[in-house]
Amino acid sequence: MSPEPEDRIISGATGEGNRRKADASVVLNQLRGIKTPENEETTSADKIDKRDEISSDQPVKVVPSAVMSSRDEVPLNTDEIRRKLNNEDADRKIREQLASAQKWEEKQKIIAHEREVQKKEIEREIEIDSRKKLVGKWKRNAVIGVVLLILIITAGMLTFSIKPNLPATHDSFPYVSSYNVRVAQGEPVNFAGVPMTVSGSGEKVIVSMSGGIGTEIAVGDKITLSTPKRMVIRVYGVTLFESDYQVVAKFRGYVQATSQNDFTVAVMTTRPVPEWAVGIIMPDGVDIIPVSGDDF
């Protein structure tokens, strides 16, 4: 019995194992991302075929099955390698996405900050503009108010009229206002537009009205400074005050300390006289002190 067929079977089995091993190496390299050139695969196969041809001519040493199984075993599980590679790729993508999201958040924060700064700047400009408009409005209103006031005063002065010497319409005067008046020696003063001059000192003086012949009076004597007349005061064509009046004075004596003649003057009217109207009747530039009517 010839041993040739058994040797060929062993050689064939060994060649088949080598091919499987080469195929496993190619798959492992592909999973790891390493490309195997086509000529390298062909060379490995050719080498295996040549070993098969040599082994078919020469006697083959039988290797124990335990040794063959350890050589033919694939180092790693391809599914495990594929899973790990997929996990690494997924982790890399997640890290890239997280980095991109972080950059986006930082960019949004910068944009929000810029918008807030712009908003505050716009609000500040609006506030400044509002203040300027308010100040300008107040200035404009103030100018208009001053102009109107000047126009009113001017119109009042142009239309203000006093007529103190109109004919009286009454002969009785129920209202009396009394004043203490001191007149300097020889200086003319006007009572309701009527000039009066007092001359002399002591117990007797001479009172001259409107530059006419004077009248001598003594202490306690009375003299009529204005006959009954009617006074009308108007402004803007409106009558402010209208009343008949008469002015009577009583001589109280000479004041040596001031070189003045002291009189009590009574303004008698048909209507109550306001203080501003009394100032029109009484003379300017003299001391005037209101007194009780009983002193007259």
Give tens-digit pLDDT for 143-155.
999 999 998 888 8
- pLDDT at residue 292 is higher than 50: yes
- pLDDT at residue 44 is higher than 50: no
What pLDDT is recorded for position 133? 85
Instruction: With cut-offs at 50, 70 and 90, classify the pLDDT of residue 212.
Output: confident
- How far is the C-alpha of 48 from the C-alpha of 199, rounded, in Å? 165
**Cα-Cα end-to-end distance for the chain:** 185
- How far is the C-alpha of 56 from the C-alpha of 10, rounded, in Å? 9
- pLDDT at residue 60 is higher than 50: no
For residues 179 and 212, is the Cβ–Cβ distance under 8 A?
no
Question: Six-digit token pair at 170?
Answer: 């009454």
Instruction: With cut-offs at 50, 70 and 90, classify the pLDDT of residue 6.
Output: very low
Going from N- to C-terminal start, the domains of the chain cover: 4-75, 163-295
What pLDDT is recorded for position 218? 92
The continuous run of DSSP H or E covering 92 comes out as helix 78-159
What pLDDT is recorded for position 270? 92
Alpha helices in 160-295, H assignment, sequence order? 275-281
What pLDDT is recorded for position 38? 47
Q: What is the pLDDT of residues 186-208, one digit of tens each?
A: 888 888 778 888 988 778 899 98
Helix axes 4-32, 38-57, angle to 10 degrees: 160
Q: What is the pLDDT of residues 257-279, one digit of tens each?
A: 888 899 999 999 999 888 888 88
Q: What is the pLDDT of residues 218-253, one digit of tens each?
A: 999 999 888 899 989 888 888 888 999 999 999 999
SS3 for 9-77, per residue? HHHHHHHHHHHHHHHHHHHHHHHHCCCCCHHHHHHHHHHHHHHHHHHHHCCCCCCCHHHHHHHHCCCCC
Instruction: With cut-offs at 50, 70 and 90, classify the pLDDT of residue 53.
Output: very low
Instruction: Say how many C-beta atoms besides its own lie within 10 A of residue 222's C-beta.
Output: 14
Instruction: Map residue 248 onto helix, strand or coil.
Output: strand
What pLDDT is recorded for position 71? 44
Instruction: With cut-offs at 50, 70 and 90, classify the pLDDT of residue 282.
Output: confident
Question: What does the CA dihedral 43, 44, 45, 50 come to, rounded to 10 degrees?
Answer: 80
Alpha helices in 160-240, H assignment, sequence order? none
The continuous run of DSSP H or E covering 230 comes out as strand 222-235
What pLDDT is recorded for position 244? 93
Helix axes 4-32, 65-72, angle to 10 degrees: 30
- How far is the C-alpha of 189 from the C-alpha of 193, rounded, in Å? 9
What pLDDT is recorded for position 249? 92
What pLDDT is recorded for position 64? 46
Long-range contacts of 251-259 (CB under 8 A, 24+ apart): 251/205, 251/207, 251/217, 251/218, 251/219, 251/220, 251/221, 251/222, 251/223, 252/180, 252/219, 252/220, 253/203, 253/219, 254/201, 254/202, 254/203, 254/205, 255/182, 256/201, 258/182, 259/184, 259/185, 259/201
Scan for tokens 């409106």, then name that residue.
238
Return the higher-pLDDT residue of 11 and 85. Answer: 85
Q: What is the pTM of this model?
A: 0.48
For residues 28 and 78, is the Cβ–Cβ distance under 8 A?
yes
- How far is the C-alpha of 27 from the C-alpha of 8, rounded, in Å? 29
What pLDDT is recorded for position 184? 86
What pLDDT is recorded for position 9? 40
